[in-house]
Structure 1
Amino acid sequence: MLALIAGTGDLPRAMLAALPERPLVCALEGVTPQVSPDITFRIERLGGFLHALRRRGVTQICMVGAIRRPPVRLQALDLATLTLLPTIWRALRRGDDGALRAFIAVLERRGFTVLGAHQVAPDLLPPSGILTRAAPQDRHRIDAVEGERHLARMGAADLGQACLVRDGRVTDAEDDSGTDALLARNRAADGGGILFKGPKPDQDRRADLPVIGPGTVTQAAAAGLDGLVIEAQGVMILDRAAVIAALDARGMFLWVRPKGAK
């Protein structure tokens, strides 16, 4: 049986729509996903929560959506979580990727198979190529090369997964506030250029794989961008048909770019 640990954003709802049977939906207390959870849990009671999943017959876990790292109240720990405390504490002190790796390791040590959203719903990963009527020009291909380089540097520091590039120069980059915030603070930009988005070079792709959707197109258009470039097999698209239609209507392009392509 599959359990989804659902965060915020559109991905949990898209996952449920893509699956033939509803999984067990779980959510961390304080997180309000767009889907109704069957179980909520606190990080201080993670051990008890995992025992409950096992009793329900859960063998696979998939984490989908954005989850802010929660505060830990030591006085709220249950006995089943005490043995996990050193791992939880170290995880919460790391960057996002390090914290996710540690959490996945806890789940695997408890006997669960951890799956990525793209493994559970593979249609969310688009094919490589240019998916829109408009196509990137030579300057955009130069921008994409610089975007890939910059993301590699960001990833080495466990930072964001997106940047804006114009005329071969990175003009802004994603921080903890996410891609929507990156685009929102560039609405008054002069226009042109691309959004380049991809996973961190060494991240565990079973968690926090980047996503774009119709909202990304709206924000990118408001920022005056020429198009979107996403890493092939590294970025999921929610409602792909709507994304392509919205880009076509605005004369923008979507390039699903293999890593290292010119």
Structure 2
Amino acid sequence: MTDGMLVESGALALVAGSGDLPRLIAEDRRRQGLPLLVVRFEGVHAPWADGMDVLDLPFEKPGRLFKAMKARGCDRVCFAGGMTRPRLDPLRFDLKALGLAVKALALLKKGDDAMLRGFASIFESEGYRMVAAQDLLEGMLAPEGVFGAVQPSDQDREDAARAAAIVAAMGAVDVGQAAVVCDGICLGVEAIAGTDALLEEVARLPEGLRHGDAGGVLLKGPKPGQDWRMDLPAIGPETVRRAALAGLAGICVEAGAVLVLGREETVRAADEAGLFLWGRPSAAEAPLDPDAAAPAPPPTEAPSA
């Protein structure tokens, strides 16, 4: 299920990272009077959760986490927002962490998608169901087509296609969800530091590296085979601001596969900055649903005589 609402049963444990997404989820649940436990791991800056039911704890205390989730009646977990990979201190491990140590330490050396799948499997082994942010908030996924006042040029569309190919190639090895292309030249790709760092890098590039009149396009899209329940790429007003500072012509996202945080504000920011926002028809795979049946294979043509 994508961009649809889930049937509620028990409480939700929201593992909050940085950015607006976890705040939007928490505020929506508070408006609806739905039970929520906000989990803030050590080092996460989420002051918006002050006054809510919050569990603050280090990564090394999963036993305490699972005990609190059980006490609150949680049956589902949502990972939302950016999170820095922790440096685990074995001296702080509780008994549960000791049992998970070999798996957890190995996961921290993997790409983001593989790492998050692994941590999700830990929650699932405890009996919790992982849910996606887009299944908790309606209308979060980017629509297809231009959803601002500015139209991309033919060159912008070519640059977006080139960037999409780059992101797909990076995604195949679980690295990054974004690239910037200008006049066919790749100006930068997203790595562990994220999209903001990519745009800051592009903003610092020497002027002579850009050819022609194109300003460049930021494209964001999920990795091939990515688990859509976690770490789906997102844009928001801050993305627009940084893209404008980098001198880009606009932002392209894979339609139906990228979250738009605060859509009205994002569109307004893009229009004011003279940037286009374009939901490119997505070639991404359908979101992972463990309960869904496998799709039928495509028909094959009969050999010619």
**Runs of 4+, deviation exceeding 3 Å:** 188-191
Q: Secondary structure at the match of 2:40?
A: strand
Taking structure 1 as the reference length, what is the TM-score of the superposition?
Answer: 0.93
Q: Which residue of 2 aligns with 1:71?
A: 87
Deviation of the 1:16 alpha carbon: 2.1
Deviation of the 1:260 alpha carbon: 4.1
Which amino acid in the other structure matches residue 4 of structure 1?
Answer: L
Mapped to 2, the partners of 1:209 and 1:21 lie a distance apart of 26
How many residue pairs are counted as aligned between the two chains? Answer: 261
Q: Superposition pairs for residues 58-97 of structure 1, below 5 Å?
A: 58-97=74-113
Mapped to 1, the partners of 2:95 and 2:66 lie a distance apart of 13
**Pairing partner for 1:187 from 203, 206, 214:** 203
Q: Is 2:281 the counterpart of 1:258? A: yes
Identity over aligned residues, as a percent? 39
Q: Secondary structure at the match of 1:26?
A: strand
Structure 2, unaligned runs of 5 or more: 1-10, 208-213, 285-305
Q: Secondary structure at the match of 1:44?
A: coil
Mapped to 1, the partners of 2:81 and 2:136 lie a distance apart of 14
Instruction: Check the 8 A contact 1:12/1:35 in 2, yes or no.
Output: no
Mapped to 2, the partners of 1:42 and 1:105 lie a distance apart of 19
Q: Which residue of 2 aligns with 1:6?
A: 16
Mapped to 1, the partners of 2:132 and 2:20 lie a distance apart of 16
Q: Which piece of structure 1 moves more, 177-186 or 147-156?
A: 177-186
Instruction: Check the 8 A contact 1:48/1:81 in 2, yes or no.
Output: no
Q: Secondary structure at the match of 1:47?
A: helix
Mapped to 2, the partners of 1:251 and 1:43 lie a distance apart of 43
Deviation of the 1:65 alpha carbon: 0.9
Taking structure 2 as the reference length, what is the TM-score of the superposition?
Answer: 0.81
Which entry has the higher C-alpha Rg, 1 or 2? 2
Q: Is 2:49 the counterpart of 1:36? A: yes
Mapped to 2, the partners of 1:55 and 1:155 lie a distance apart of 38
Deviation of the 1:193 alpha carbon: 1.4
Q: Which residue of 2 aligns with 1:165?
A: 181
Mapped to 2, the partners of 1:227 and 1:259 lie a distance apart of 17
CA change 1:188–1:30 in 2 (3 A) is: closer
Which amino acid in the other structure matches residue 164 of structure 2?
Answer: E
Structure 1, unaligned runs of 5 or more: none
Mapped to 1, the partners of 2:257 and 2:202 lie a distance apart of 24
Mapped to 1, the partners of 2:282 and 2:144 lie a distance apart of 10
CA RMSD of aligned residues (A): 1.8
